[in-house]
Amino acid sequence: MGWSAKIGRIFGIDLYIHATFPLLFVWVGFVYWVQTGTLEGVLFGLSFIAVLFVCVVLHEYGHALTARRYGIGTRHITLLPIGGLAMLERMPKEPRQEIVVALMGPAVNVAIALALFLVLAVTGGGGEIMEPSLMPANFLQSVLYANIFLAVFNMLPAFPMDGGRVLRAALSMRLGRLQATRLAARIGQGLALLFGLLGLFGNPLLLLIAIFVWVGAAAEAGASEIETRLHRKPVSRAMITDFHALSPDSTLGRAVDLTLAGTQKDFPVLDGHRLVGVANQGAILRGLRDHGLEGRVADIMSDPVIAGLDDDLAGLLENLQQEETRLICILDRGQLVGLVNIDNISEFLRIQSALQDR
């Protein structure tokens, strides 16, 4: 994700923090200053929000480490002002596994809340447990409430909340994945409308949540639609077979000529008949800046990403959605026979949907 800085690596997963995140601290500090007028109040607010985000990180690790048990890695976890985001390599396709992965986030918050409740009960600090306030004595209590809120909020049956995933997985045991996603998305959008209405007449925060849920539900339904269309469609049905290739000795000037003369932006690099690399647009432009038109393709090419003719298009799309991969080279018995890029898959999807509408 852009605008993020890495702050560490825990359990082998990179932890990023979004550039807008410090703004949250400024804002919280300001709010507590206005409300309490004391440095103590501001410190309370800042430490509260810091501890809260530690809880959010633990929640995300709940998802990530559970997914790991099913052999699914996590690319990174990013902290946004609105919460955390664990970027799993893929979602479990098995509904039972999806339910467990989704539940283990909120379960972490429930566990934290229970632990704090026990601590407060043992130390007698929970006497006024029904009165959350800004007093430092109630710090643990506030964290306890916040964790209960996190667990409940995340279990709302709406994408992109964990509850939406649980609902979809439960429905897909009876309906099939696409139908289940459509229905779950519709339920989520119904809930978003309700929040929106409540938000109009009351808390504006609900309005924000409504937009968040509406957009999330639509995106999830769209992604699932696409995945279904590409599932079990072999690469050979959508690959580009009419393309230009460069050789390692080609100049960057040759790459420029081919780019301007046609629509191809990324090129496979062939040494005779052997695929040795890929020269993508970004690398060509960087090469032009450093070496000019006389630069050589061999100096700027990168390792090719390869797939076979029978590979499934859905898997290739997943690969192309990672920022570094712009072009996948299709090999048949060691020979380059085609290319697949994101534009071509989009084209394929548009054609499929036109045929379906007929």
Residues that bind Zn ion (CB under 5 A): 105, 154, 162
Q: What are the contacts of 115-123 at 24+ separation with CB within 8 A? A: 116/140, 116/141, 116/143, 116/144, 116/147, 117/144, 120/144
Q: Which residue, 162 or 220, is less far from Zn ion as judged by CB? A: 162
Q: Which residue, 69 or 286, is less far from Zn ion as judged by CB? A: 69
Among positive and negative, which fits the CA dihedral 253, 258, 263, 268? Answer: negative
Alpha-carbon distance of 20 to 26, in angstroms, equals 10
Closest CB 90 distance from Zn ion, rounded Å? 16
Q: Which residue, 81 or 248, is less far from Zn ion as judged by CB? A: 81
Alpha-carbon distance of 267 to 298, in angstroms, equals 12
Alpha-carbon distance of 72 to 88, in angstroms, equals 7
What is the side-by-side order of every strand in the sheet holding 335-340?
Answer: 305-308, 328-332, 335-340
Q: Which residue, 103 or 301, is less far from Zn ion as judged by CB? A: 103
Residue nearest to Zn ion (CB): 105
Alpha-carbon distance of 288 to 303, in angstroms, equals 19
Q: Which residue, 66 or 154, is less far from Zn ion as judged by CB? A: 154
Q: Which of 300, 276, 297 is nearest to 286 (CA)?
A: 300
Kindly give, in sequence order, each residue whose CB lies less than 8 Å from that of residue 37, ignoring residues fewer than 6 positions away: none
Closest CB 154 distance from Zn ion, rounded Å? 5
Closest CB 189 distance from Zn ion, rounded Å? 20
Q: Which residue, 79 or 239, is less far from Zn ion as judged by CB? A: 79
Q: In this structure, what are the phi and psi dihedrals at residue 230, rounded to the nearest 5 degrees?
A: -90, -15
Closest CB 63 distance from Zn ion, rounded Å? 6
Closest CB 210 distance from Zn ion, rounded Å? 19
Closest CB 55 distance from Zn ion, rounded Å? 12
